[in-house]
Chain A
Amino acid sequence: MVAELDIDARGLSKSFGDLKAVDGIDLRVERGECYGLLGPNGAGKTTVIRMLHGAARRDGGELSVLGSDVTTHSRRIREEMGIVPQENTLDNELTVYANMWVFANYFGIPRRRSLKRIEELLDFVQLTEKWSEQIKNLSGGMKRRLLIARALIHRPRLLILDEPTTGLDPQARHLVWQRLRELKSGGLTILLTTHYMEEASQLCDRVGVMARGRLLVEGPPADLVRERVGEEVIEIRGAGREAAVAALNGLGLDIERAGDTLYLYCRSGAEVVERLVSAGEREFLRRPASLEDLFLRLTGRELRE
């Protein structure tokens, strides 16, 4: 059976002057799926999202969302799509409640009819007590949660979140994750971008790793990690560990050096540990490979500001 595609992008491209912000991306998100777009700052994630709702014009490729072409039907698509932007776009001069009903009004939902839905959503994101608060008195986490509630006002079929948890404390982040899981189990299709690999591993059925406008790999996070990194990672920290490494010759290990740390990527750590111990090496860290390893291996370790 071919699942229905809520997002179908082929060869999607976008340049700003000479900069290819998005460079020929194929992106398919099935109905009911949660897809995570990962990538360092400047990879082009936000630009992809802006093209999805018609805020940025693509220069090339095909893009259809919820079954319609974005170029010709962007406004209609937005009637069934919720967007949580990377930057706060709340109405700072209005209260929490007014923000919600004014936004409902943008969708043509009259105030009386939106009332119950607003109560429901404020409760969902735990902001009920703040309903008459001015936006400027909310914390960063509360603003993010309100943005999420606002994006759900019209019961969208597709929810797009651009870095929904950046800058949140762990409590707020876990609340957002919880809510997103609930929405997903209710059948909502979700596309999110994130820097938090744990977030992507926990929430996403599939992830795509972007860098410099290109999609490098794509797949279920656990599979990707197993195929591309291995099962386990052993970290050896500190200088002068060449002797230890020499003991590992012949194992065909994938070794990466970054600063003062050696990363050994392997299928199984048992034999490596044995060799290290018998070479007199006792200070190392053995842990399961994670999405973060994959991410760093693919996109490099240098800083992107």
Chain B
Amino acid sequence: MNAADMIPSRRALRVWLRHLVQYRSFYVAEWAGNFGEHALYLLAFGYGLGRLVPSLNGISYAQFIGPGLVVSIAMWTSTFESTYGAYNRMRIQKTYEAMMSAPLSLGDIVFGDLLWCGTRAIVGATLMMIVLGLFGLIGSPWALAVMPIIFLVGLMFGSLGLVSAGIAPSFSFFSFHFSLVVMPMFFFAETFFPLKGLPEGLRLFSQMLPLTHAVKIVRGLIIYGRVDDFLFHLFVLAGCTLGFMVCATVSVSRRMTS
């Protein structure tokens, strides 16, 4: 394996297509399930819990967390796909090994997996957006423009997941990934409550989480159709994603080549 093998090419689409074919066999049932689950989340948090929350800058609590849920669903699906899913492909089903006996480089395989994570993130987020639409919680046609951001979120959490999948000695290792990476972002990336009024330390911490920047962009687009400091947030998001992608490639390559 040389350095050139770490750089992805168009052939990553062949890997992506394999994941799509594999997924096709059960997607209808899964979509129906997810759809119900998303609606439930919104009802429970937005309307149940939301009754206790005063209006925030003129928007209801359900309106506030809707975009947060869109982003966190993108995070969850791409994380599952890249931790349990990729570990299974890498260590149990030997899918990666089969790909490496074909003319696919490690970069192609990793990037193909990440493209797939991005795709899954978009599918999950779209279902949530439909739910939001049905509840009348989408305030601007710019809401459609969140998809590239959701895709980035998928790539980013896909990369983080692959880093863990590369070093995990067993499935149980992923509980660290969830408690150290996913849960803090799930709660503190301005998904469920605004940063304003929080203790300074917590606010700083939240600001440092890459997901916070995705939430800011997505919330802006869905509710108001505009985002303050858009380029800054995008830059942080893209920069983190790129960095994590490099880490993912290194981690998987250490696992796959001895």
Which residues of A line the B interface, CB within 8 A? 16, 50, 53-57, 71-72, 74-76, 78-79, 83, 85, 87-94, 98, 102-103, 105-108, 151
Contacts and interface: CB of A to CB of B under 8 A. Distances in A.
B252 to A, nearest CB: 13
B37 interface: no
Interface residues of B, number: 26
21 contacts: A55-B101, A71-B2, A74-B5, A75-B103, A78-B103, A79-B103, A87-B97, A89-B93, A89-B97, A89-B101, A91-B22, A102-B17, A102-B18, A102-B21, A103-B98, A103-B102, A105-B18, A106-B14, A106-B103, A107-B103, A108-B103
Contacts of A16: 258
A89 B91 CA distance: 11
B2 A72 contact: yes
A73 to B, nearest CB: 10
A108 B101 contact: no
B84 to A, nearest CB: 14
Interface in B109-150: none
Contacts of B102: 78, 103, 106-107
Contacts of A74: 1-2, 5
B98 A89 contact: yes
B215 to A, nearest CB: 34
A87 B105 CA distance: 20
Contact of A108 (B5, B11, B25, B256): B11
Nearest to A72: B2
Contacts of A57: 1, 257-258
B14 A91 contact: no
Contact of A56 (B14, B94, B258): B258
B18 to A, nearest CB: 5
A56 B101 contact: no
Contacts of B15: 106
Contact of A55 (B11, B100, B103): B100
A46 to B, nearest CB: 11
Contacts of A78: 101-103
Given A56-B258, A89-B97, A92-B93, A75 B17 contact: no
A132 to B, nearest CB: 12
Q: Which of B17, B93, B95, B100 has the most CB of A within 10 A?
A: B100
Task: Please list the 6 inter-chain residue pairs (A to B) with the smallest Cβ-Cβ separation, ordered nearest first.
Answer: A106-B102, A89-B98, A83-B101, A89-B94, A78-B103, A79-B103
A204 to B, nearest CB: 22
B99 interface: yes
